[in-house]
Structure 1
Amino acid sequence: MTPVIEQLQSLNRILVELARRQPFHGANFEEILQDILWTSARSLNVARVSLWFYSGDRQHIECAHLFQQSPPGFTAGMRLTASDYPRYFAALQEERTITAHDAWHDPRTREFRKTYLEPLGITSLLDVPIWVEGSMIGILCHEHIGSPRQWTVAEEQFAASLADLVSLVVESRDRHRALRALEESEARLATFFQATSEAVIIHEQGTILDVNAATERLFGYTASELVGQSVLLLTHPEARSLILERIQQPIDIPFEALARTKSGEALIVEVQGKSILYRGRWARVVGIRDITQRKTAEQNVQLAAQRQQLLAEIALRIRQTLELPEILNTTVVEVRRYLLSDRVFIVSFDPRTEEIQVVAAAMAPQWHTNLEVLLQNVHYRSRLLTTPATLSCEREMLDPHLRQVYAAHHIQSCLLIPIQHQPQGPCFLLGVHQCDRPREWQPYERAFLEQLATQVAIALQQAELYQQLAALNANLEQQVAERTEQLQQKMRELEELNHLKDVFLHAVSHDLRTPVLGTLMVINHLLQNNTSDTIPVPRSTLTCIQHSQQRQLHLIETLLHIHVDQQPSLSLAIAPTSLATLVKAIVAELQPLLQKNKATVKLQMAPTLPLVRADPIQLRRVYENLISNALKHNRPGLTITLTAEVQEDMAYCTVQDNGVGIGSDQRSRLFDLYYRGRESHHRTGIGLGLYLCRQIITAHGGEIGVEDNHPQGATFWFRIPIARPT
């Protein structure tokens, strides 16, 4: 999930939490506004958030609340005149939000630079007008201090939603003020009626004894018509059981009941009685106040609040998703449920191609119809696209063709609401059908759908932005994957080159050390045993040195041959070779090294051992590496036993020592490149000897391994083919 999408979802969750946290009915108006400003400042991480309202003459805006994070707190009282900042006030009337990333240079806000922005260090502004019932009443202003800030689309939408929330709060406050005023008026009226003209009835056990003129006016009866009659005459049938209960068990607490006038009109009245001594006998005096209008007003206010709450809930459900089909389907389902209508659908119309299609629909099963066929009807389509308001369904007012279309699809009433979207793209229209009866669409129903259409338009814009971001993200991921694969290929090539370099260096450091060491020991022996200027050198010694240098040169050429190619390989000069003769010569040449380490070599090879198919020089390297490794990894005084025997068509050779042996955790890695063992950090060489031994034996078509005789020592073995007689 991309950061933009995560920000959209996070800000939407904050809006939901804010809506749940603040009950907009019965709450403190100022506290709600401060909570909105505090939440906005923390959510968008801005230094200052302020709320401005227009003055009565609409020539000024005054700061009602200003929240600043450092030092935290609320202030108010600033005032800005429209004539001083004409471009800014003109922009408020024309734009949904004033998003000034660089407020000092933005043509809409640079008027504030000298007097307001620079003194306070403000560099970026995000201002949203607040509209109530088609009139802009104020501005929600976000002020960023520091380096200029690039506001995101999610932040603009969040700020716009907060402005809508402030609008709802103001509307809720106004409704409650009107309700309180109505209640106060009713209270004053009740007092006045108690003193003068309130309907008053005096009865005894339900029989009317007297009434006043206000009662006559209220119920339409004359006093003579009422006196002597039962109070049930003025009672609605639904309230008779309640009135009988109050006659039998009088209480002084006011209660509400349904009354009925002489004309049969039902009234909602508030009844309050008190026992008095009337003409020498106890009776009940009852004041009756008509509260029908008040109850109707309360119901209207309650319904309006419910509609606003429902609108907020539907808008949240619509805007909680970024998938276009889900947004449209949620819209038609919620509208049909709210209006209790038979069909609700949304069509998409492209003005450029004049293509129109149904994109979402919700219909009652009994009124299901083919909307695609309906939309392709020329008469209905023309009426649909050219009538921006409620479509009249009076049959006598429709042309004959349209009447036939309505009858064929059972359309009794139709309502159309445009959903504003991008001017360059397709337009969306919301249609509602009533099929079971003619219906008079109420103004509040149209207002509700228009407000909902605005929320749907915002959700559509968010969905389109999400699709664009998803496409960009997919393209970016593909580019990153391709570039990563290229880099990985380069890394593999570099690792291979580095591997070849290491093998070459390891071979030089390991294989060339043994012949150089042997030659150096012969020369040191000659220098130590003769102090004269001229040192006689036996011919056998020079021959030994010559052979050692020839082997060293051959090793260098072999290593160069191996590491020039990208795929390392050994070039073998195979010839029938006597193992006994070769091993005796190797032991003789290593004699100085054996003497230095006080080591003893035992040869256990039968003279009748057949010849082997081998490269003598490479096989010599195997024996030299195995013997020198045994000397390096054990203390002086070592005994090394060399054996060879025939196993089928292979010669099985061993190099066994009586040293410290090899642990089981090391045997599986001894023939790996670079491996030197746990106790080899103080020794020369970097672990190439045994690796080269395996390479040589494998090139001969044989195999090599090691057996542990711990604590008696270790036994290295290998097999090479026996030479077949020609």
Structure 2
Amino acid sequence: MWMLLSGQSTQSAGNLLSADERAWLNAHPNISLTMWDDYAPISFKGEDGKLQGFMPDYIKLLESKLNYKFKQVVPTKEESHSSGKRSAHEDVISLLADTQDRRVYWSFTPTLLSFPLNIVARNDAPKDLTLSQLNNMKLSVVQGYASQEFVQENYPQIKLDLVNNTCQGLQHVAFHESVAILTDLPVASWCLKTQGLIDIKVAGQSEFKYEMSLAVRNDWPILFTIIQKGMKAVSKSERQALQNRWLDQGAFEQSWMYSNRVWLIALVLFLLLSALIRVYVWDSNMQSNVLHRITNVSDDDKKLEQISDVSSGLTTRILILLCIILTLLGTLITTEQWVSHQDRVLLGVLVATLMLVMLFGGYKLGSIRRNEENQSLFEQLASQIKTRQMAEKSAKEQTLRLFKQQKAIQILTQTQTQKTTEEIFKEITQVSAETLNVERVSIWLLDSDKQMLECVDLYLKTKSLHTTANPLLAKELPEYFQFISQNRVLAANDVIAHPSTVEFRQGYAQENNIGAILDGSIWLNGNMIGAVCCEHTTDSREWTLDEQGFVGSICDVVRLTIETDRRRSAEQALLQHSEELEVMVEARTLSLQESEQRLTSVIKYAPIPILTIKMDGEIIEFNPEAERVTGFSRSEAIGKNFIDIFVVKESFKKAIGIGIGTKRGEAFRNVELIFKCADGRKIEFECSIVKAGKNGVSDVGQMIAIGQDITQKKVLQASLIKARESAESADRIKSMFVASMSHELRTPLNSIIGFLGVVLQGMSGDLNTKQKDQLGRAYHSAKHLLSLISDVIDISKIEAGFLEIHTESFALKPMFNEVVNVIHHIADGKHLNLQIDCSEDIILETDRKRLYQAILNVVSNAVKYTEAGSVTVEAKIINEELIITTQDTGIGISPSGLEQLFKPFERAESHLKIKTLGTGLGLYLTRKILTQLLGGSIEVESQVGVGSTFTIRVPVKISEQTLLNNQSILEDQPL
């Protein structure tokens, strides 16, 4: 039952804990569990040195529920938990009472054991004794237990006798060293039983109750949860079984047997003496009766039978008597707790008397046993003679059967190549029926779905008839199909009694009057493909092992027949396939010839030069277009080396590399080479060269070279490049002009803004309300104009190539704080929830000013176009790339607005367009900074009425290539 409970707990342990809890347990394989070794029967060390008791068994049950093994630790005598402090090596304590001091270090599970503390005293103590009556008296308590703390706090007048354990305290009570002991009854009962103490009783009960739990270190709350789940998984019946086993409180109850122990001992002694006298009388009578009956019987077999009967009856009675004697003696010995100190002398005399009686009885029973042994020799001799005769007869019959079976197998194997498969099947069924002397033998083959056995031949012996039977369906005979597919032979001596053939009872077996079945399964390539069935009719039959082996051999013959048939079919199919393959080869040869003719025509009339070259450079094919372009005739080119005749010095090294790479199987496309013509002209070709022909040695195989004259194309490209450079130069000059003019405009505008600020502050005199309003509008318009001019300057510098990058190493978090300081008043005015999620340890190496400008533009736009809700900014690093996501709950952007979002002077249409100032250059400038200056990108996703999400991606460290691309394009040009 314990193994069963453990198995059930283990099976459900996987569903008991969550994945995180199981992972936590796996990460902590050495969790210690402290368990006392001197708290019997709760937890104590047995004779074998191992812990036993209620708690060790309960912990084993808990471990099986959790599928986890704790590291059990036994504390030393110096360790105590009265103060509640936890040692470094302690994780779980079993058991511990819940006190206020201990909760500082421990978390306590629900109460596992609860005992009221009783006052245990000698039998002469008054009834219903209370603690208040023990003032100024000595009371034994276990040192370090919660009972000590209880008595000290509530009954300070009681003198405490501090003992190491309950057993020691009971000894003090028994030997008048203390008046009583305050303890729980299970532990006290255990001590009384094991130490043989008497004259002890329960004199009263205290108001204190032991409520003990498992204590778990309070800095591991997940372990506390795991242990609670394991305790809940322990059923009430399992827990009650442990309590019934260990927590017995019956040592204080004196039974009727204890009170009348002297009379019981006398009665047992009288019964034993009477039984031994009766045995002596039986011995004398039985011996005389045996001799009398032997002399009166003449036949030897009958004599043996009579002796066997007498000995059998005598032996049975003697065995019953011995069982009674041993049972009574065991009862007296195992109930030693009945006997007090005064009765131990009487018990010694009784045991000695019983030993003498048993010696005498053993002597008499020994003589009886010797008589039985003599008669047993006669019985064994007769049995051996009879067994030998039966074995000789069985061996002769088996030899005849084996000879007949071997001859049948020999006949069947010799005809395999001379007959058809159908004829061989018929011969197999007929020969098998004659050899096994059965009425019906049949061969069944399994269908492709393995759901039905189809009969290919059924032979009826008495009718000498070959026929077939209805198919056997797996869904109707599941037990039979399962057995035959897993076993070599099915030997059913009785169809109705065998569990795998009982399904035949109502149908197949009843219709054909079948009593016994011997079936063998046919296997091919590790799969069952059918069965051979031998059916005995009318009644049951016991199938011998050689008959079962014969059926297995018949199955092998059937398998061999099926393999031969399949091989013949495969050979015929292979022959037919070979003929079809020859036709296909002829057709393929003709097709290849036609393809070769078409390829020759294509090469001949192709409008581009095509050459076929050996791996060593020799030209073997030169089409007409190549003749026209190069001026060399086909006869002049064929047989010459390609590099020697065409490649000029400038392309010589490149052509050699292409030739080496082509030998390795590389393909070259759109490679530019300079060739020389027959008249000495140099022309540029765009060539594609691939390997064709055989693989293997480097000089075996061919190369196909296709070229196109791109001389005129190169001239045209050069002119286009010059035109593009002129246009770009003009555009840069324009951008330079705009940047310069914008810079000149910003200087007087700064003066206007400065003086307007001075006037508005009242430094030039007081202003009336109308003047302040008008000057304020002018001030804000000038600021907006300055912002527009600054954006235009930055855009112009970027496009003109004058905006330089200044890289530095800086932390991202302070930059976000600056952004929040600039825009927080707008968010506060709308009561928006502005959240920034950025780690303190994000360090970047890029242009701080430009990254700040881009982030400020995106976040300020999110705040401006969000009327209610929140704006969340999250920054994280993935694969050396900074990703900043700005998500708002604003008005959103329509699909048409997204198309125009990053274009200059474009603003998305919304009802906030008029209220919110803007030029349409912010996001355009942001994209320019991120893509052209910082090597990053910006993306946006939006839904009208829901909100928008802007994602900025920039490298953590700006690359050298980006810095190189951002250098002014005018640095190397004269002004």
Q: TM-score, normalised by structure 1?
A: 0.27
Larger radius of gyration: 2
Q: Higher RCO, 1 or 2 (CA under 8 Å, sep at least 6)?
A: 1
